[in-house]
Amino acid sequence: MFTSVLMIEKPLVPTDVGLVTTLHGDEPVSFVVLMQPRGDQDRLLRALDDVALGELDDAVREATGQDEEEAADSPVSPAERALEHSLGALRAAGAEAVGQIVQDHPLDVLTSVVEETGADEVIVLTAPHLVEEFFHRDWASRARHKVGVPVLKLFAHGE
């Protein structure tokens, strides 16, 4: 069985599930999903990306923190819901899937998960982050120097 560590920051949509589950043809795939929600420290970078991509409504939402306010009333965090949704979608597509939320030091967690599971590859599935990518500070660029297995960067699809 082929094992992929899948780093995500948003719930998987059907297009993304289809993409990652068919990368290796008919070979059975097992996923270890690391859900790294984007935090407050990234709010400025996200707003800059939104402006650069012409998504002004998203930039305003970043500035006001509306998403965080709406989620604060729920007993289950948005990251937990996103992870459970994503694991269920991968399993429904026929893959094995386990996962965890990563709050701090995502690349350290990624490195240890790759070592512990004997993963064959890392897939970073993320929205475009123009500022981080320009300076090679995005997850995929940084992971390539740490994990010792191939790192594939894919852009996530929108809802």
pLDDT digits (tens, 9 = 90+) for 36-84: 886 544 554 455 445 555 555 554 454 455 454 444 555 668 889 999 9
pTM (two decimals)? 0.75
Q: Give the CATH architecture of domain 2-40+74-155.
A: 3-Layer(aba) Sandwich (3.40)
Residue where the block lists tokens 């407050």: 40
pLDDT digits (tens, 9 = 90+) for 18-36: 999 999 998 999 999 999 8
Q: Which is nearest to 31 in space by CA: 111, 94, 108?
A: 94
Domain ranges of the chain: 2-40+74-155
Distance CA 77, CA 90 (A): 20
Q: Which residues make beta-bridge pairs with 8?
A: 35, 125
Place of tokens 């992929």: 4
